[in-house]
Amino acid sequence: MDDKQLRAHFGHIHAQNVAALSRHLITCRRFFDGDLDLFLVLMIIGERTFSRRNAPDLSFEQWQTASVRSVKQEAINLQSIADYSGIPRETVRRKVEILVQRGWVVRDGRKYISATDKARDELMALTESGLRYLAELRASFTQLSDA
């Protein structure tokens, strides 16, 4: 579906997206004890851990067992997260400390931060919520292309 088709069917797509995204964000909020900034910080770290440029082509089943250490990661630090997200650096620092305590992220000797296999494993239900969100969007596009 190209940009012109998206614009032509915006009302339907927007409604589907808002409904699906709302359900997913509610699930995210539950997993992060109501702290969506904590969720966002981990998502940004995860984006660099499994960057689009370096992410291996894995099935979901393969992804469930692949070590994050097997993927070439892009560097990210506190300042980069703060700049990218607009979250104050001190808040990012506190959120990263919480994530380190949970074992969901680690820092290397250069203070670069990356997600861990433990985060993937403990947040698997959240990942499945993300899959449901994507499936709902795909269904929305499929309905329009079939019409």
Tens digit of each residue's pLDDT (9 = 90 or more) over 13-41:
899 999 999 999 999 999 999 999 999 99
Check residue 57 and give its pLDDT: 82
Count of domains forming the chain = 1
**5 or 46, greater pLDDT:** 46
CB 137 within 8 A of CB 18: no
CB 40 within 8 A of CB 85: yes
Check residue 64 and give its pLDDT: 85
- Per DSSP, the three-state class of 58 is coil
Check residue 107 and give its pLDDT: 94
Specify the DSSP class assigned to residue 46: H
The residue range of the domain holding 90 is 3-146
Check residue 147 and give its pLDDT: 60
CATH number of the domain where residue 67 is located: 1.10.10.10
CA distance to 40, 48, 52, 127, per residue, from 35 (Å): 9, 21, 26, 17
Tens digit of each residue's pLDDT (9 = 90 or more) over 95-115:
999 999 999 999 999 999 999
Tens digit of each residue's pLDDT (9 = 90 or more) over 56-87:
788 888 888 888 777 777 889 999 999 999 99
